[in-house]
Amino acid sequence: PLLAETRTLTRARVKNHENQRTNVEDRTSKGRGTSALHRPKSPIRMPETYRKLVATRLSTDFREAAEIVEEEFPELKPHEVLIRNRYAAVNATDVNISGGRYQPGAKPPIDLGAEAAGVVVETGSAVKHLREGDAVLTSTLGGGYREYNVVRASNAIRVPEATPEALSIMVSGLTASIA
């Protein structure tokens, strides 16, 4: 993993934690005293920043243009989701993005990558069709080469599992649609 700490626990770990807490609360409610776990859930500790790849100068030499930077997490708007990217598509358009061809007049730094497969870790207040733990695919300019990505929920496509295979089908379909 790119971060020492994760933004969220996996669903299994959260479920396990909730089960352990429920067991302790059951024991304490039967007259065995109180417990430090018998209190409202505490928020999970989140990292302050995440890493992403940006073009620090315009160039079609991707290695020369790209640099890893850290960024703070943005506040989610009501119709947005925060996704932890697990896989990113690598394709020929990357050199066009780093060269500034997709956004004429853009000045560095330019966020790199486009398509990604990941897992929803947080949803905005108005998001109804996605929830934490859902596997999704995204295709947003600058959204691929980063640990986390914020997108409009309508731009996240739910899939059974966030895999390289699911991601490759999306990239192939997108390419075919514009060919």
Overall average pLDDT of the 59-86 stretch: 95
Higher pLDDT, 104 or 21: 104
Q: What is the pLDDT of residue 7?
A: 36
Residues 9-52 have pLDDT tens digits of 333 333 333 333 333 333 333 333 332 322 233 344 668 899 99
Calculate what percentage of the chain has a pLDDT beyond 90: 54
**Widest CA span in the chain:** 70
Residue 112: pLDDT over 60: yes
Q: What is the pLDDT of residue 176?
A: 78
pTM, whole model, 2 decimals? Answer: 0.70
Residue 152: pLDDT over 90: yes
Q: What is the pLDDT of residue 148?
A: 96
Q: What is the pLDDT of residue 66?
A: 95
Cα(46)–Cα(93) distance, rounded to whole angstroms? Answer: 33
Higher pLDDT, 125 or 174: 125
In what order do the strands lie in the sheet containing 156-158?
A: 148-152, 80-88, 115-123, 135-139, 156-158
Instruction: Return the sign of the alpha-carbon dihedral for residues 129, 133, 140, 51.
Output: positive
